[in-house]
Amino acid sequence: MSDDTFRSVEIERTSVGNYRARNVRGGSLSMGTGEDTSFTPVELLLAAIGGCTAVDVDHITSRRAEPTQFSVNVTGDKIRDEAEGNRMQNLRVEFTVTFPVGADGDRAREALPRSLRQSHERLCTVSRTVELGTAVSIVEAAEATEA
């Protein structure tokens, strides 16, 4: 793969059940088991799905008019399945977007349904990956030794 397609994050344990994820640009966020305010991995999955679509829709519609409200609510049910393992189902991404009155707002409102459809069907890498069911490989790296 070329450098422009490769993506990565590094996750470090900070204490039992708590972790810090870092990207190559220096950004970081905490995650954990849900016993504090940190996001859980499932909440991050929901945020990634909603955030990916939000970026697509925002870029398309805000060229026409700046929204006066732009919020996304992502929900789903976490199920425990003995046969197929734990997973999310009934994923739903709900947008509440309002544009100002006037010709620019009208153009943005007109572009909204198409931008949602384009993101869902083609543009959003996160939801497309989830829907297509991309395989995940889990590997054990060489054990590090203490100095």
Per-residue tens of pLDDT for the chain, all 147 residues: 457 899 999 999 999 999 999 999 999 999 999 999 999 999 999 999 999 999 999 999 999 999 999 999 999 999 999 999 999 999 999 999 999 999 999 999 999 999 999 999 999 999 999 999 999 999 998 777 776
Domain edges within the chain: 1-39, 40-132
Other beta carbons within 10 Å of 98: 12
Whole-prediction pTM? 0.89
C-alpha–C-alpha distance, residues 46 and 50, integer Å:
6
Nearest CA to 18 out of 46, 41, 44, 51 is that of: 41
CATH 3.30.300.20 is the classification of domain 40-132: yes
Other beta carbons within 10 Å of 93: 21
